[in-house]
Structure formats: C-alpha cells, structure tokens
Amino acid sequence: MSGSIGIFDSGLGGLTVLKVLAEKFPQESFCYLGDIARLPYGNKSPETIRKYGLQILKFLKAQDVKALIIACNSASTVFLGEEDFDGIPLLNVIVPGSRAALAAAGRDKRIAVLGTSATVRSGAYATTLKGLDPLVEVIETACPLFVPLVEEGVVGDLITELVALRYLQKIKQENIKTVILGCTHYPVLRGDLRKVLGPEVRLVESGEVLAAELRELFQNGTVPASSLGNTRQIRVCITDLTDHFERLATQLMDPEPIGRLEKVVL
C-alpha cells in the first residue's frame, strides 16, 4: 500500500469522503480506517479523541501512506493547525470546509454549521471561519441524533424530518442559506435537509472540499500523484466487525464497489 492516501474516521461515515475521493482520483490508492470499536467520537472528551486519533495516525503511517486525511470532524477539531504527522502531510476537514463555505456564501456572510456535540462544543468552525473573515456570522448547531438515524438507515423518513425540523428551526427562521455539514454522516441526509431548509440551500460537504484540497497538494508538489496505469487499491480497515457495518459500508460507498472489510488491531 506504499504511496496510498490514508483516511480515518470514528466509524464508517468517512466512507462518504472516501467515495468522493475515489471517484475524483481514479489512479490513487486509499487506506481507510474506521474506529468502529470506539465510535462515536462526537460525545467524547478532546483528550480521549486525541489519544485515539494518534493511535490511528500511527497505524496509517505504518501502512506507508503519502498523505493523511482526518475525515472525522470531531477528531479534526483536536488536530487543528497541525499540517503534518511525523513529516506526512495531514489534512483535516475544518479549514477547507470553512474556506469553501465562505466562497459559497459570497456576500451573504451568514453560515450555519451542523455537527456532533464534540464538534460544536469545540467551536472550531466558528473560530476558523472568523479567522478567515471577521465579518462572518456563524450559527453552530449540535445534531446528535443524526448519526444514529443514518446508521439505522432511517433516511427520507418522517422521523428524521421531525428531528431535522427541531434542530434546524433557528437556521430556517433566520433563512440562512449556507450550511456546513460538519459530520461525515450528514451527506446521507442531504435530501431530508433540503426538504426542511429548501432546495436552494448550499450544503458544504467534507468530501468535495477535501478533494479540492488534495488536488492542490498534488499540484503544488507537496504530495506526489500516482502514475496512471497503476492498479489502484482501496482498503477499508475497521477496529471491529459486525454484519450491520458491512451492510452500512456497502450502502455508503454505493455504487463504488468495496472489498471485504479488514479487521485490524491498533
């Protein structure tokens, strides 16, 4: 797996990121690690999240990756400002997500951030957004039931719509039209969110912004691109294995095919 791109998330939500990257960079290999044995990260303390994150970065480094991506928003908040791990370029979702949201909002300068409790508690998006543009107004909303709803497949469903209506009440009232999906599970709820917020809402998704960021690292030579004609490999490693997650993985990556999930010990 030498020269592949390492991606990690607390669970399988980051597959929504892997899917986008695998489509946009068809010659690159990827090694994904989902820390299923210890998910979710969204309600854990920063110290615990950082400890787990470091174990995973070490594991991915041992797979000889050329770049590291923290797809997990909760984990990104505790590695903010760190541009490499032991010399390997390290991307997180917060900074590119904030830049993309500002570009999408344009002159409106009002941005909503949806995330887990840990991501919202950290205030990482608000700090980053205001650092990039002091005039921006930010509403951060924790949506802790979205992850279990996605994991149970309750999507395009009245229950999810009611939950979304409750979480998004203020955003809807204030007619905010740029929304950062600050959790890798949330793109699965794209349809439910548009139903509540209106079809014209601009949803900023981690997969798209990380693809743009990675392209820049290839172009400026920070990360060497793989040569065309290589046989690419996509490995999906997880720290626990249940039937439930095999089904969820297939559903999140669809139509991109994935091989068997590999169980690994950190």
Q: Smallest Cα–Cα separation from 252: which of 122, 4, 71, 88? A: 71
Establish if 45 lies at the interface with a second copy (CB under 8 A). Answer: yes
User: Contact at 8 Å (CB) between 74 and 118?
Assistant: yes
User: In one letter, which amino acid is 72?
Assistant: C
Residue with smaller CB distance to a second copy, 76 or 178: 76
Establish if 156 lies at the interface with a second copy (CB under 8 A). Answer: no
152-155, long-range: CB < 8 A, 24+ apart: 153/248, 153/251, 155/188, 155/189, 155/191, 155/192
The Cα 237–Cα 105 span in angstroms is 36
Establish if 151 lies at the interface with a second copy (CB under 8 A). Answer: yes
User: Contact at 8 Å (CB) between 64 and 39?
Assistant: no
The Cα 253–Cα 244 span in angstroms is 15
Least distance CB 38 / a second copy (angstroms): 5
Residues 116-145 that bind a second copy (CB under 8 A): 117-118, 144-145
Establish if 44 lies at the interface with a second copy (CB under 8 A). Answer: yes
Establish if 9 lies at the interface with a second copy (CB under 8 A). Answer: no
Catalytic residue among 31, 143, 183, 237: 183
Alpha helices (H) along 15-132: 15-24, 46-61, 73-78, 94-105, 117-122, 124-132
Which listed range, 14-22, 33-41, 216-224, 253-261, lies at the site for a second copy (CB under 8 A)? 33-41
Size of site (CB under 8 A) for a second copy? 27
Q: What is the CA radius of gyration of the chain?
A: 18
Establish if 260 lies at the interface with a second copy (CB under 8 A). Answer: no
Q: Which of 244, 254, 262, 266 binds a second copy (CB under 8 A)?
A: 244
Pair of tokens at residue 234: 């996509």
The Cα 174–Cα 203 span in angstroms is 16
Least distance CB 163 / a second copy (angstroms): 6
User: Contact at 8 Å (CB) between 122 and 77?
Assistant: yes
Establish if 192 lies at the interface with a second copy (CB under 8 A). Answer: no
Establish if 237 lies at the interface with a second copy (CB under 8 A). Answer: no
Q: Which of 152, 216, 254, 262 binds a second copy (CB under 8 A)?
A: 152
Q: Phi and psi dihedrals of 220, rounded to 5?
A: -90, 5
Per-residue mark of binding to a second copy, 50-89 (x: CB under 8 A)? ----------------------------------------
Least distance CB 125 / a second copy (angstroms): 19
Establish if 154 lies at the interface with a second copy (CB under 8 A). Answer: yes
Sheet containing strand 4-9, edge to edge, reads: 84-85, 88-92, 65-70, 4-9, 30-34, 234-238, 262-263
143 catalytic per annotation: no
Catalytic residue among 31, 72, 143, 237: 72
What positions carry a catalytic annotation?
72, 183
Residues near a second copy (CB under 8 A) are: 36-38, 43-45, 48, 117-118, 144-145, 147-149, 151-152, 154, 158-159, 162-163, 166, 240-242, 244-245
